[in-house]
Structure 1
């Protein structure tokens, strides 16, 4: 059988289930670390419940993903997950989710492994969101999830450091309301509201414009040019203000495009 015949016969098994996101639909990629509890507690000695070294590595991974060939409007990270809002008109790989998932997961895994000095792995999935409001709600969802997880993590590790094992610490928290968890921390000298925002709400990564001094290659004269660069936001706004923040980024992305 000739190569062209083999190619036509076999390639269909690889591509038969390719799915392409429809034009005009917003795409958000969400990446999660695989077995990161073991990675951060057993393989690497990170401080619990939060470690700035781990935080910084996650931010650098987000920045890498926003510069690896896709047009990304907004990046967000909390805990061991990353969310990326792609430009609404992004057409890389013909908007095939199989290709985008594999490339983004591979890029994140490779970058984080290099930063960590050991193997780390991410998976990736796509949310297809019809409206700007759905995009805003997605990021509100992840922000609220970050807040809930942060409160639980601080309570859990407070109990663990007092000698409770994992089972009893988890069991104790299941019986507590949000107010009870705040009180648990307060009795141990921690006011949850006073903790750094990035622990409670996650971290955003946005594009900002800045002026850069350069030299005109034809005339040799100094000139000022405008460039874009990435900026981490460690103090994200809350609730409705965060919704407005995300909405403004979507509008700005439209203007840039």
Structure 2
């Protein structure tokens, strides 16, 4: 996730909605819109799109691109809102940020004692939510013996790795 965008990766063997793209689109857009609206007390709408990525390299490329997009959008947003809070009008703040390269944006923030590099990772490159297999210890009620089992657990990851480490993370966790 980043900003108002959510990218989902379905396992290639997942058969949700019989893999019907139109059904997946309508359900996901509806669920995201409903949940966000309820949580924030005002109506919100989300759209959706499906990208069929036929191999793991394209999946890696896609998620790496989304992470870079998150970083670029976060840097722009931090600059814009810093200018707005310091009294700049919407148009003036937009125009000032629009012409700056990455380093100039960092410098602009730093001029107001904001070090973008020190912000939490989730603010700069989004968050990940994914299933992870975890070992659970249980008790067999009939025999009283301790048992081990594997369960899937949702993990919210607020510190996703960068660059080639992100590619490795994707390969290890999703393929």
1:38-57 superposed matches below 5 A: none
Query: What does residue 112 of structure 2 align with?
Result: 188
Aligned length: 175
| Distance in structure 2 (CA, Å) of the matches to 1:187 and 1:172 | 14
Alpha-carbon RMSD across the aligned residues, in angstroms, is 1.7
Q: 1:228 to 1:91 in 2, by over 3 A?
A: closer
Q: Is the 8 A contact 1:198 1:235 kept in 2?
A: yes
Report which stretch shifted further, 200-209 or 89-98. 89-98
Query: What does residue 167 of structure 1 align with?
Result: 91
| Distance in structure 2 (CA, Å) of the matches to 1:236 and 1:155 | 23
After TM superposition, the score normalised by the length of structure 2 is 0.91
1:30-89 Cα offsets, whole Å, 9 max, x none, are: xxxxxxxxxxxxxxxxxxxxxxxxxxxxxxxxxxxxxxxxxxxxxxx0011111100112
Q: Is the 8 A contact 1:132 1:250 kept in 2?
A: no
The answer to whether 1:114 aligns with 2:31 is no
Bigger radius of gyration among the two: 1
| Distance in structure 1 (CA, Å) of the matches to 2:44 and 2:141 | 43
| Distance in structure 1 (CA, Å) of the matches to 2:150 and 2:173 | 19
After TM superposition, the score normalised by the length of structure 1 is 0.64
| Distance in structure 2 (CA, Å) of the matches to 1:195 and 1:248 | 27
Q: 1:207 to 1:117 in 2, by over 3 A?
A: same
Q: Once the 2 structures are TM-superposed, how far is the Cα of residue 132 of structure 1 from its aligned partner?
A: 0.5
Unpaired runs of 5+ residues, structure 1, are 1-76, 252-257
Report which stretch shifted further, 223-232 or 161-170. 223-232
Greater relative contact order structure (CA < 8 Å, 6+ sep): 1
Q: Once the 2 structures are TM-superposed, how far is the Cα of residue 189 of structure 1 from its aligned partner?
A: 0.4
Report which stretch shifted further, 195-204 or 222-231. 222-231
Is the partner of 1:136 in helix, strand or coil? Answer: helix
Query: What does residue 134 of structure 1 align with?
Result: 58
Q: Kindly indicate which of the two structures has a greater share of residues assigned to strand.
A: 1
Q: Once the 2 structures are TM-superposed, how far is the Cα of residue 154 of structure 1 from its aligned partner?
A: 0.7
